[in-house]
Amino acid sequence: MKKIGIIGAGSWGIALAALLEENGHDVTVWSKFEDEVNMLKENHEHVTKLPGVKLSEKIKLTTDLKGTIESCEILVMAVPSQFTRSTSHMMKEFVKDGQIIVNVSKGIEDVTYKTLSEIIEEEIPNAEVAVMCGPSHAEEVGRKIPTTIVVGSHKRSIAETLQNVFMNDVFRVYTSPDVLGMEVGSALKNVIALAAGMCDGLGYGDNSKAALITRGIAEISRLGIAMGGKAETFFGLTGIGDLIVTCQSKHSRNRKAGELIGQGKTMQEAMDEVKMVVEGVYSTKAAIGLAKKYNVELPIIEQVNAILFEGKDARSAVNELMLRDKKIEIECSFPEHTND
C-alpha cells in the first residue's frame, strides 16, 4: 500500500482517486477550493464534473496542501495545464527529495513552450517527475470501463513503480522512456480534436473526420520528432490512440468546443458552454510557436489557430486546407517502368 496525494479535484483527479483507493492505497485528494471539498465530503462524488462516480469514505478530502504533500509518498498532479506552474510553485517548499510526482494533465505552456513535466522539474527540481497519459476519459475510468494507458519516466524504476500502483484488471498500464514524445502527442491531439469538432459542427461526415485524424497525427509526429520524440510514440497509445478517442468521443470537451465553434459560436462562447477547461485552446498557441522554432509545417493547427484567435470562418479554413498545393503522402520514389 502506498500513501498517494491527488493534487486537483477535477474529473480526472477524482476518477484516479477512486481507482487508487480500490487498488488498496491510502488516498488523499487536495483542492484549493473549500466549497469543492465540502461538496465532495457531503456527496462522496463530484456532482458537477464526474456525477455517478462514488468515492469511498476512506478517501481523505482536504484543502491542506502542506499536509497532503508531507504525508504522501506519491503525488498525482491533476490540475488544468495552465495552473501547473502556479501549483508547482506552491508545492515546492513541501516536496521531499526524491518524492515521485506523476503528472496526468495534458498541455504545453504557451509562453515558454515547455511541457508540463518540464515545468514541474523547473519549479520542483528535487522531485522525481513522471507522466501518465493515453486514451482515458475520466467518465469511463470512473465507471471501470477497460482502459489502457502509458506511464512515462526517464527512470525505469519510477515507471515500474507507478505501473504497479495504478494497474488493475480494468486499467492496464504500459511504460515508456519517451516522456517528451508522450507529452507532445497528448497536448497537440487536443488541438486536432478542436478541428474534429468543427467538422462535426459544420455537418461534415466520416470521410472528413478520418482524413483529419490521419493528417493530424502526421502533423503531431512531424513536430514531435523534430523536438526529439520517438516516431513509435506517435503511433502508439499516447499518439494515435489518444487522438482517436479525443476526436470521436462524446466525453471530449475539446471536440465539443470545436463543434460549437463550427456551429458559429465564438471561442469564448464555446468555452463557456462546455463549462470545463478546454486545454486545446492553450496548446494551439504553443504549437504555432514550436512550429516556427523547429521550422515545421502544421497546416491543420495553423487553421485552428486562425479560427480561434484571428476570427477566421471555419468553413473557409476547411476550403483552404482542401485547396493547398498538391502533395505526395508517402515520401519515397515511384518505381520507374520503361513502358510507361
Residues labelled as active-site residues: 189
CA distance 239 to 233: 6
Outline where 263-312 has alpha helix (H).
Answer: 267-274, 279-294, 299-309
Q: Which residue has the cell 469514505?
A: 57
Tell me the HSE value of 313 on the side-chain side, using a 13 A CA sphere: 5
Q: Strand pairing partners for 172?
A: 148
Q: Quick one: which of 122, 64, 129, 85 has its CA closest to 103?
A: 129
Q: Select from 233, 241, 236, 245 the least CA-distant residue to 196.
A: 245
DSSP string, 228-242: T--HHHHTSIIIIIH
Terminal CA-to-CA distance of the chain, rounded, Å?
Answer: 69
